[in-house]
């Protein structure tokens, strides 16, 4: 992938885990969506509950920690509920600036432990989820949620991971 910036903001994160994991999840998602990863720009911020609570309050009006947040660079809403969003448009430099994703260490780790799942599997799911948000997918309506979940399950299956929706983990962050 040409541009994947990973910012590690707190000491709980293991850079040897999060960097290749984020790379793998973002690239798998982009390939699945028939986008060339070398043409895309994504930033992943690995932070803590305190930082993500501030971001959640600022951008969503919810002053609580959450597992993942995303900020799409382009509004790519589907034309109708359950529909496929349009592809992002390239910038003047030929790159697709997709946006930013933030993950909270404490919340992600706690959720994985509560679900008896490997932390790496849960993080992979959340990064796939966040990347799909950057591409215009959402889960506000039932039709949109069904489509997004199906795509997530397909991508994770291609990575050899189980269906995350068979466990009781809720993805609480949403795009702005």
The answer to whether 44 and 127 are in contact (CB under 8 A) is: yes
User: Sorting pLDDT into bands at 50, 70 and 90, what band is 174?
Assistant: very low
The answer to whether 123 and 68 are in contact (CB under 8 A) is: no
Looking at the chain, the whole-number percentage of residues with pLDDT higher than 90 is 86
Between CA 173 and CA 176 the distance in angstroms is 9
Element (H, E) at 102: strand 96-104
User: Sorting pLDDT into bands at 50, 70 and 90, what band is 176?
Assistant: very low
Between CA 140 and CA 24 the distance in angstroms is 27
The answer to whether 125 and 152 are in contact (CB under 8 A) is: yes
Q: Which of 72, 84, 73, 77 is nearest to 150 (CA)?
A: 84
Could you tell me which residues are annotated as the binding site? Answer: 129, 133, 139
For the chain, what are the domain ranges?
3-166
Between CA 100 and CA 98 the distance in angstroms is 7
Between CA 62 and CA 53 the distance in angstroms is 8
Element (H, E) at 45: strand 40-47
Distances (CA, A) of 17 to 23, 35, 145: 10, 25, 29
Mean pLDDT of the chain: 92
Residue pLDDT, tens place only, 28-48: 999 999 999 999 999 999 999
pTM over 0.85: yes
Could you tell me which residues are annotated as the binding site for Zn(2+)? Answer: 129, 133, 139
Rounded to a whole number, what is the distance in angstroms from the first to the last CA of the chain?
Answer: 25
Q: If 0-12 CB within 10 Å is exposed, 13-18 middle and 19+ buried, where does residue 63 land?
A: exposed
Residue pLDDT, tens place only, 75-124: 998 889 999 999 999 999 989 999 999 999 999 999 999 999 999 999 99
**Fold exhibited by the domain 3-166:** Collagenase (Catalytic Domain) (3.40.390)
């Amino acid at each position: 992938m040409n541009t994947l910036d990973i910012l590690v903001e707190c000491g709980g994160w293991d850079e040897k885990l999060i960097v290749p994991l984020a790379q793998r999840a973002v690239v798998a998602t982009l390939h699945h969506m028939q986008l060339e990863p070398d043409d895309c720009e994504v930033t992943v911020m690995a932070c803590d509950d305190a930082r993500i609570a501030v971001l959640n309050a600022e951008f969503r009006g919810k002053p609580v920690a959450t597992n993942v947040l995303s900020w799409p660079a382009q509004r790519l809403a589907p034309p109708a509920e359950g529909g496929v969003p349009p592809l992002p448009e390239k910038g003047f430099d030929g790159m697709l600036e997709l946006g930013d994703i933030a993950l909270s260490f404490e919340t992600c780790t706690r959720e994985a432990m509560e679900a008896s799942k490997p932390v790496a599997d849960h993080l992979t799911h959340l990064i796939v989820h966040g990347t799909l948000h950057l591409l215009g997918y959402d889960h506000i309506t039932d039709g949109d949620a069904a489509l997004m979940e199906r795509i997530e399950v397909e991508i994770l299956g291609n990575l050899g991971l189980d269906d995350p929706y068979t466990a009781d983990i809720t993805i609480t962050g949403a795009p702005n």
